[in-house]
């Protein structure tokens, strides 16, 4: 009986020791769980500038971006599979998360301001470190006064006016990796639009870029397109917008640019 009491007492002491070594964010340590550090930068999709006051959260671990748009989350359980960034007036951005023990992982976010009008769409392109320069292109159909249509890109950015053709504007042109590169459509004409991405840098292949295209409307995130893992060429034909405002998936790599 004395041996049993002694054994139980020893077990309780060991349990207290383990608990005392666990911080509030590392309680999973009791069950053998491990943690990592996650940090990065949050930017505004329409300006490319850093956003302060953004809440970044993964599970029960959260933090807020500073004046440089930077955040850091410590002791994030590696079992966590998602991370989100939110700020009033912006669409919340949620990403999948894959962690290993003691890792220091970078996760950047781009937040789109909320859209107010039914006709508005916003296209946001982000990518990795290389290629350094990917370009967004939106082919706008013609109207009665512009019979050849219009191409919104870094050369002809459109007009930041919802009442003037082409009713679309290149908000941000990024040439030094990561993005964002953003086009806002104020009104859609009753004809087909085409959106594609050009690998302006040329190399490496666009399939290595980890480029993501996200499409927003007044209800929030409408479509997400991940980069195809196969295909040859410098052009990624991502989607069409049809005459009724529907989005038709393409998302293929090809040798030549799409045309209206």
Token couple for 155:
């050369």
Question: What tens digit of pLDDT does each residue of 24-76 get?
Answer: 444 444 444 799 999 999 999 999 999 999 999 999 999 999 999 999 999 99
Q: Taking CA 115 as the corner, what is the angle to CA 64 and CA 175, rounded to the nearest 5 degrees?
A: 70
Tokens 């019979």 correspond to 147
The 10 Å Cβ neighbour count of residue 126 is 23
Question: What is the predicted pLDDT for the residue at 4?
Answer: 52
Best CA proximity match to 209, nearest among 181, 232, 229: 229
Contact 17, 29 (CB under 8 A): no
Whole-angstrom distance, CA of residue 21 vs CA of residue 32: 12
Question: What is the predicted pLDDT for the residue at 27?
Answer: 45
Question: What is the predicted pLDDT for the residue at 186?
Answer: 97
Question: What tens digit of pLDDT does each residue of 124-139 get?
Answer: 999 999 999 999 999 9
Question: What tens digit of pLDDT does each residue of 125-184 get?
Answer: 999 999 999 999 999 999 999 999 999 999 999 999 999 999 999 999 999 999 999 999
Question: What is the predicted pLDDT for the residue at 33?
Answer: 75
Whole-angstrom distance, CA of residue 59 vs CA of residue 84: 9
Question: What is the predicted pLDDT for the residue at 14?
Answer: 53
DSSP class of residue 52 equals S
Best CA proximity match to 45, nearest among 97, 106, 103, 92: 92
Q: Taking CA 196 as the corner, what is the angle to CA 191 and CA 200, rounded to the nearest 5 degrees?
A: 145
The more confidently predicted of residues 26 and 211 is: 211
The more confidently predicted of residues 249 and 31 is: 249
Confidence of residue 20 (pLDDT cuts 50, 70, 90): very low
Best CA proximity match to 82, nearest among 51, 111, 60, 104: 60
**CB burial of residue 177 (10 Å; 0-12, 13-18, 19+):** middle
pLDDT of 19 > 90? The answer is no
Token couple for 144:
């009665």
Tell me the helix, strand and coil percentages in the chain, rounded to 5. 10, 40, 45
Mean pLDDT of 73-100: 98
DSSP class of residue 12 equals H
Question: What is the predicted pLDDT for the residue at 18?
Answer: 45
Tokens 């249509």 correspond to 149
Question: What tens digit of pLDDT does each residue of 104-120 get?
Answer: 999 999 999 999 999 99
């Amino acid at each position: 009986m004395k041996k049993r009491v002694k054994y139980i007492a020893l077990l309780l002491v060991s349990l207290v020791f383990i608990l005392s070594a666990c911080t509030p964010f590392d309680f999973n340590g009791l069950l053998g769980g491990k943690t990592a550090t996650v940090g990065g930068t949050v930017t505004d999709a329409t300006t490319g500038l850093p956003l302060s006051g953004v809440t970044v959260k993964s599970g029960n671990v959260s933090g807020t971006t500073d004046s440089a748009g930077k955040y850091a989350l410590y002791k994030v359980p590696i079992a966590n599979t998602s991370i989100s960034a939110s700020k009033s007036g912006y669409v919340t951005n949620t990403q999948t998360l894959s962690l290993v023990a003691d890792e220091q992982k970078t996760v950047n976010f781009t937040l789109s301001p909320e859209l107010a009008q039914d006709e508005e769409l916003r296209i946001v392109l982000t990518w990795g470190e290389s290629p350094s320069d990917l370009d967004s292109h939106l082919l706008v159909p013609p109207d009665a006064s512009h019979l050849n249509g219009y191409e919104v890109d870094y050369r002809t950015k459109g007009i930041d006016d919802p009442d003037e053709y082409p009713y679309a504007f290149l908000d941000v042109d990024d040439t030094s990796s990561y993005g964002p590169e953003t086009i806002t459509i104020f009104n859609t004409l009753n004809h087909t639009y085409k959106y594609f991405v050009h690998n302006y840098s040329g190399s490496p292949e666009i399939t290595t870029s980890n480029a993501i295209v996200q499409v927003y409307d007044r209800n929030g995130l409408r479509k997400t397109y991940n980069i195809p893992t196969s295909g040859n060429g410098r052009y990624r034909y991502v989607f069409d917008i049809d005459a009724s405002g529907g989005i038709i998936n393409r998302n293929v790599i090809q040798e030549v640019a799409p045309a209206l």
